[in-house]
């Protein structure tokens, strides 16, 4: 480890500019390489990539002052995977090679993180290298724990099993194959208890499937509809925000979808799904002909087991400044941040500029003056061609961009085109480049 070779804390800036000599010295000494950067960003997803470029565009950094760490080969536009589930997009069109999205002025480490040492201002990578930083931004996303539902990994991998999920690149195109293959029987769509990214997506997959079957003459609201649909959710309601939840429950009733509330999927065995009911503490088994599963999710192990974690295992940052509550040179945004709001790409459009502003202020020894209000959004597909644009902040307070003109709890065609055409386009043309601030428009 580099700590034994160099004294870094005070000589941080000098070593940053003398990076080449540092590296050759490390090689010469045959020790793990020590690399020094003003800012190290963990994760090159929607949050890490966008905010690294925002930092770079501030003009306050020299080439390689900022480092980006991510083991991935591909960068995915994950909000598009629901559209893949509805056969509205091809999954291959929603990804790009990650390296090509990174400005060459950023130092890219194509590795994963092994451990954080916040007291030493270092991060150890899985290849043994250490990175030293003045500021650390943590944005590696959330971990999908497929194993947490017994039988799920096997059922997803089995091409003949009618079990799928929009939550992964490998499986999101299995979703429509199972939907278009179903001609009659029971379809169950699940949502787990606990934190998931994009809490509206579990039912988006269902609403698109319902519309597909309706158009194919396979679904109606009568008791002899060939296909019957159930929404089995660990939650007691359709959605966490009362304004939208009410409307979604009304849709559910009108469309004759069975609501299995407080039903948390525990295991899958052949065509049987077993749920744990939080209200009665009982297990309930249902037979299915199609099962759309939302896996359980949680913080990455390397965060949960670090000093950076809060009680739930996410990064313990201040709700408003996005600065770590214990380590003033650590920040977090995106799904890994322990913020009491819904985890979405839209949330990142609001978080990233706040984090960047506060980090820059902090670097210059100035007061933090930007504040995140919890903004997040869920463009909820309720049928083909219609989206309910739920937008809200901390406390579930609606924060509707077009609220003066529209009641956004009413599903609309204009919002469908935002979701299907505009957001994917602006994401790759502007957001990953640090140019897009969501409802605030372009970043100067």
Active site residues: 198, 378
* Stretch near ligand UQ1 under the rule CB under 6 A, chosen from 113-121, 126-134, 308-316, 344-352: 344-352
164, 189 Cβ separation under 8 angstroms: no
The answer to whether 401 contacts ligand UQ1 (rule: CB under 6 A) is: yes
- State the number of binding residues for ligand UQ1 (CB under 6 A): 13
Nearer to ligand UQ1, 85 or 379 (CB): 379
| The only residue of 252, 423, 433, 443 in contact with ligand UQ1, by rule CB under 6 A | 423
165, 172 Cβ separation under 8 angstroms: yes
The answer to whether 356 contacts ligand UQ1 (rule: CB under 6 A) is: no
Q: Which residue blocks in 132-200 are alpha helix, DSSP H? A: 152-157, 172-181
Nearer to ligand UQ1, 299 or 438 (CB): 438
The answer to whether 49 contacts ligand UQ1 (rule: CB under 6 A) is: no
What are the Cα distances from residue 423, in Å, to 46, 124, 136, 321, 379? Answer: 13, 35, 29, 26, 10
What are the Cα distances from residue 41, in Å, to 113, 186, 274, 319, 437? Answer: 11, 46, 41, 19, 19
Q: Residues 366 to 385: which contact ligand UQ1 by CB under 6 A?
A: 377, 379
For strands 143-145 and 296-298, give the pairing. antiparallel
Q: How far is the CB of 398 from ligand UQ1 (least distance, A)?
A: 13
Nearer to ligand UQ1, 314 or 427 (CB): 427
Supply angle C-alpha 342, 344, 347, rounded to 5: 80
* Stretch near ligand UQ1 under the rule CB under 6 A, chosen from 16-24, 250-258, 265-273, 425-433: 425-433
| The only residue of 206, 426, 432, 443 in contact with ligand UQ1, by rule CB under 6 A | 426
373, 360 Cβ separation under 8 angstroms: no
CA–CA gap between residue 271 and residue 286 (Å, rounded): 8
| The only residue of 164, 274, 349, 358 in contact with ligand UQ1, by rule CB under 6 A | 349
Q: How far is the CB of 242 from ligand UQ1 (least distance, A)?
A: 19
Q: How far is the CB of 341 from ligand UQ1 (least distance, A)?
A: 13
CA–CA gap between residue 425 and residue 436 (Å, rounded): 11
* Stretch near ligand UQ1 under the rule CB under 6 A, chosen from 138-146, 323-331, 341-349, 357-365: 341-349
Q: Which residue blocks in 158-217 are alpha helix, DSSP H? A: 172-181, 201-215
Q: Which of 136, 109, 65, 148 is nearest to 306 (CA)?
A: 136
The answer to whether 112 contacts ligand UQ1 (rule: CB under 6 A) is: no
The answer to whether 130 contacts ligand UQ1 (rule: CB under 6 A) is: no
| The only residue of 431, 432, 433, 443 in contact with ligand UQ1, by rule CB under 6 A | 431
The answer to whether 245 contacts ligand UQ1 (rule: CB under 6 A) is: no
CA–CA gap between residue 263 and residue 237 (Å, rounded): 11
CA–CA gap between residue 432 and residue 344 (Å, rounded): 15
Nearer to ligand UQ1, 63 or 441 (CB): 441
* Stretch near ligand UQ1 under the rule CB under 6 A, chosen from 20-28, 123-131, 209-217, 424-432: 424-432
CA–CA gap between residue 167 and residue 82 (Å, rounded): 8
| The only residue of 330, 345, 368, 399 in contact with ligand UQ1, by rule CB under 6 A | 345
Helix (H, G, I), strand (E, B) or coil at 255: coil
Nearer to ligand UQ1, 168 or 439 (CB): 439
Nearer to ligand UQ1, 139 or 187 (CB): 139
Nearer to ligand UQ1, 33 or 339 (CB): 339
The answer to whether 81 contacts ligand UQ1 (rule: CB under 6 A) is: no
Q: How far is the CB of 401 from ligand UQ1 (least distance, A)?
A: 4
| The only residue of 45, 427, 433, 434 in contact with ligand UQ1, by rule CB under 6 A | 427
169 C-beta neighbours (distance < 10 Å), count:
15
306, 338 Cβ separation under 8 angstroms: no
Nearer to ligand UQ1, 239 or 288 (CB): 239
232, 380 Cβ separation under 8 angstroms: no
Q: Which residue blocks in 280-410 are alpha helix, DSSP H? A: 301-304, 345-363
Q: Is 435 left (phi over 0), alpha (psi -120 to 50) or beta?
A: alpha
Interface residues toward ligand UQ1, by CB under 6 A: 79, 345-346, 349, 377, 379, 401, 423, 426-427, 431, 438-439
């Amino acid at each position: 480890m580099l700590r034994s070779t160099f004294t870094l804390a005070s000589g941080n800036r000098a070593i940053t500019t003398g990076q080449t000599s540092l590296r050759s010295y490390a090689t010469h000494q045959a020790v793990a390489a020590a690399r020094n950067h003003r800012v190290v960003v963990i994760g090159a997803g929607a949050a890490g990539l966008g905010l690294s470029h925002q930092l770079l565009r501030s003009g306050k950094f020299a080439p390689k002052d900022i480092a980006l760490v991510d083991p991935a080969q591909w960068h995915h536009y994950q909000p598009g995977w629901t559209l893949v589930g509805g056969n509205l997009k091809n999954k291959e069109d929603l990804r790009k090679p990650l390296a090509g999205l990174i400005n060459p002025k950023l130092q890219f480490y194509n590795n994963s993180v092994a451990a954080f040492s916040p007291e030493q201002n270092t991060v150890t990578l899985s290849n043994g290298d250490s990175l030293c930083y003045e500021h650390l931004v943590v944005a590696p996303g959330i971990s999908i724990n497929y194993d947490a539902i017994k039988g799920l990994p096997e059922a997803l991998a089995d091409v003949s099993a009618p079990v799928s999920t929009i939550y992964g690149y490998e499986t999101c195109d299995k979703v429509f194959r199972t939907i278009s293959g179903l001609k009659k029987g029971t379809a169950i769509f699940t949502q787990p208890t606990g934190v998931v990214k994009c809490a509206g997506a579990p039912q988006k997959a269902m609403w698109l499937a319902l519309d597909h079957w309706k158009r194919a003459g396979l679904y109606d609201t009568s008791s002899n509809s060939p296909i019957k649909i159930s929404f089995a959710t660990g939650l007691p309601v359709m959605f966490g925000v009362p304004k939208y939840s009410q409307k979604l429950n009304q849709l559910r009733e009108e469309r004759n979808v069975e609501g299995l509330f407080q039903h948390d999927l525990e295991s899958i065995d052949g065509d049987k799904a077993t749920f744990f009911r939080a209200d009665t503490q009982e297990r309930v088994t249902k037979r299915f002909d199609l099962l759309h599963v939302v896996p359980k999710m949680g913080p990455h192990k390397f965060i949960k087991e670090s000093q950076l974690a809060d009680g739930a295992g996410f990064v313990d940052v201040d709700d408003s400044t996005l600065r770590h509550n214990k380590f003033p040179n650590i920040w977090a945004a995106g799904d890994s941040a322990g913020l009491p709001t819904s985890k979405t790409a839209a949330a990142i459009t609001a978080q990233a500029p706040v984090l960047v502003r506060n980090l820059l202020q902090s670097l210059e020894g100035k007061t933090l003056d930007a504040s995140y209000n919890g903004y997040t959004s869920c463009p909820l597909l309720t049928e083909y061609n219609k989206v309910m644009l739920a937008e809200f902040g901390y406390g579930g307070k609606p924060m509707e961009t077009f609220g003066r003109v529209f009641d956004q709890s009413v599903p609309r065609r204009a919002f469908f085109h935002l979701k299907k055409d505009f957001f994917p386009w602006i994401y790759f043309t502007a957001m990953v480049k640090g140019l897009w601030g969501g409802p605030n428009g372009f970043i100067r």
